[in-house]
Amino acid sequence: NVVHIHLTPYLFAPLWALHPSAGWLNGIIVLWNLLGGALLTGIILRRSSPRDFLPKAAFALAVFFGGGLLRILDQMGQFLLFSGPLILGAYAALRAGRRGWFLAVIVALCLVSEDAAMIAVAFAFYIWLCERDKRPFAWTALGFAVPYLLLVLLVLQPAARVGLVMTESSTAAAVFKNIFHVQLGTLAANLKGMMPVFTLLPAFALAGLLFGWPRGRRVWVIAALAVIPAFLHWGESLVVGGSHHLLPPFCFTYLALLLMLGEGRAEGRSWLDRRPPAVALAMAALFFAVSLRALAPDLPNAARLKLYRALGQGAKVRDLEQSFAKGEERSNRAVIAAAAALPPEKSLVFLGNYRVLGLIAGRSDLWPFPRYFDQADYLLIQRDASDLAYSFDPSLGPDPKSALRASPPSKGWCEQRNVVMPPQMWKLLLRSLVHRLRTHRVVRDDEHVLLLENLKPQPFEMPPSTMGFRLR
């Protein structure tokens, strides 16, 4: 499962080493994006609009911090999330005409991952098409990004896959294949998942009302900046699903907003000198409402409960109240503690709430159920799980494997919600592995946790041509 080649994110390793944890990795990503984005916003607007810099910068930063960015950054420490300030930095260098700085940032962007290198290629196409006086910058980006992409896709990834059982020729091919299997329901769900980027749309209307509208061909240039450089990630978000792939669309759409702000015509008057019209207030309210909707899933549970009640979201209120009644937080903490008590060099398979997965990731061999559930050193089951990451029908077979084969495919971590663990599921695993096959023993069994230790663990396939990174 060799997916991405990462280099630039490891520059942050000394900072991460101060407190090596999943939480701090997410913290570094959030700080890097918010601080870097705010600084580069100021740099870009200072150059494009020095006369009315302060009101425009205040507006832009309100959109930057108040929109859906935080929802995008909350994506399990995905390394593509390090690309945000690099995207803004490449654009700032382009606007400043600093070709050397532009090349340095493009190199750093490409080395984030190969899908970030694809951004550099698409960005070069935008420059060549819409910034004709800056076309040498396009050739600069292509001169590094294209050879690097070819190296990764044709040499490094195939070499890293030697000896592995292949399911796809490359990650890019696996994603592209989904285009031929898209259904209307999937598209609708993925469009809803792109809400964090759509928070920026009301900001364009508000910017036009307050600072003036672009004219003529500039409308198409601004639209092209939002779409072309992140075209592949727009497509992947629509076909496969957004999550961390929404960051490039967000960044380039935000840059399009900055371009519109920089070219806005205030006609000698600042919007601060007059009372905004009612339509501007309506657009501000719409921006707030859409942003709040995008960020709602990340609010504290108590705040979410009050918000859903105020909005009349009865089903969501019931789900949260049931979660509180069942003590989901206590259950999650018990499972996390049980995983933390196990030696990190031991392999672990987990069956329980999907929210727990990112908090038990401190080991090299961690697998979501059902992968290797009968081979790993430990099988950790959350008996009272209320939001299962994986589910199957235990009544469809006398043992777990036959029940899994007969069950319809599970929708996976991000597509199913509020699926409660039926007692028959963990009882079938306990009966089969401990009592019938006698390959496992019970290490812990309480109201939250069922932990089984494999008495005959089987080594995972590890081709001699590959090397795994293991925690020491």
The per-residue DSSP string of 219-239 comes to HHHHHHHHHSTTHHHHHHHHH
Query: pLDDT per residue over 394-437, tens digit each?
Result: 888 888 889 888 887 765 544 455 677 888 999 999 999 999 99
**pLDDT of residue 377 exceeding 80:** yes
Strand duo 366-368 + 378-382: pairing:
unpaired
pLDDT above 90: percentage of residues in the chain: 47
Query: Considering Cα of 197, then 202, then 207, then 213, what sign does the dihedral take?
Result: positive
The predicted model gives 142-153 an average pLDDT of 94
Amino acid at residue number 434: V
Mean pLDDT of the chain: 85
Q: Residue 270 has what pLDDT?
A: 47
Dihedral angle sign, alpha carbons of residues 114, 120, 123, 127: negative
> What pTM did the predictor assign?
0.80
Per-residue confidence (pLDDT) for residue 325, from 0 to 100: 63
- Describe the strand order of the beta sheet including 378-382 as a list of residue ranges: 366-368, 348-351, 378-382, 449-454, 440-445
Above 80 in pLDDT, residue 470?
no
CB-hemisphere CA count at 13 Å for 127? 23
Handedness of CA 370, 373, 378, 379 (dihedral sign): positive
Least confident of 118-127, 150-159, 204-213, 308-317: 308-317
Q: Are 123 and 225 in contact (CB under 8 A)?
A: no
Res. 260 pLDDT band, cuts 50 70 90: very high
Asked if residue 153 has pLDDT above 50, the reply is yes
Residue 311 has pLDDT above 70, yes or no: yes
pLDDT at 309 exceeding the cut of 60: yes
Instruction: From 363, 368, 367, select the one nearest 345 (Cα to Cα).
Output: 363
Lowest mean pLDDT among 327-336, 384-393, 455-464: 455-464
The whole-number pLDDT of residue 172 equals 66
Q: What is the mean pLDDT of residues 144-157?
A: 91
Confidence of residue 182 (pLDDT cuts 50, 70, 90): low
**Residue 180: pLDDT above 80?**
no
Contact 255, 40 (CB under 8 A): no
Q: Name the range with the highest mean pLDDT among 18-22, 101-105, 231-235, 266-270.
A: 101-105
Backbone angles phi, psi at 454, to 5 degrees: -80, 120
Kindly report the number of other CB atoms within 10 A of residue 422's CB atom: 16
Question: pLDDT value at position 414?
Answer: 46
User: Once rounded to an integer, what is the mean pLDDT over residues 434-461?
Assistant: 90
Give Cα 350 to chain centroid, integer Å. Answer: 22
* pLDDT band (50, 70, 90) for residue 148: very high
Mean pLDDT of 136-160: 91
Burial bucket for residue 41 (CB in 10 Å: 0-12, 13-18, 19+): buried
